[in-house]
Amino acid sequence: MGLPQRALYPIHETAARWGCTVSDIAGWAATGTLKIVTGIPPVHCGEHKVAGLVNIDPTDVLPMFRRCGTGPQEAHLLRIQPREAEGWLYITAPEDGVLVSIGDMMILGHEVHRFEVTNDLFGRVAAGAGLGNDGDYDWAGMHVEITRRVFEEGLPKSQGEWIRELQDWFSMQSEDGTFPEEKSIRLRLTPILRALKFKHPKR
């Protein structure tokens, strides 16, 4: 079974992935297209105590996102939004807020992939990533790889070995090493095994 989808993408890495700047990402977050999160130690917001991952408004620390790259690398956050909340909370203790670094600004993994699908970025910055424009894996490409494998190398020793080979194939096509879970590949591989009268479908 493969690893789950990445949970967090640092904004610098995301900018490189999308071919844009952190200033662009800050702008999209400021207008509600994305959410930027960071992790904070326990702070008091009036009667509330908040810690862990929180949403931030990039306009609160806008100098960090200067397009020219001359901005500070750290700034004090004075308000935060708990991920499950709708409103914003002002930090009351410590009085000067909480110090955060731009290197610790991140986007949730599902937000990154949703943004890529919505804006059809796969063809532009993730060509061959194993994902189609509909956000699903390249199953048609997998069938081509299966045909190549059988024609050039013959059949593998077991179903489990073939599934692992296909996971490796997906991973190699992907920019971030992602690949489908074993169950999804087996579902599509089983009819092929039956058609080939595969004698050793062992895991």
Per-residue pLDDT at 51: 95
pTM for the structure as a whole: 0.60
User: Burial letters for 140-171: b for 16+ Cβ neighbours within 10 Å, e otherwise?
Assistant: eebeebbeebeeeeeebeebeebbbebbebbb
Residue extents of the structural domains in the chain: 8-119, 139-195
Residue 122 confidence (pLDDT) above 60: no
pLDDT digits (tens, 9 = 90+) for 138-169: 888 888 888 888 888 888 888 888 888 898 88
Out of 91-95, 169-173, 199-203, give the one with best mean pLDDT: 91-95
Tokens of 87: 């409103």
Per-residue pLDDT at 96: 94
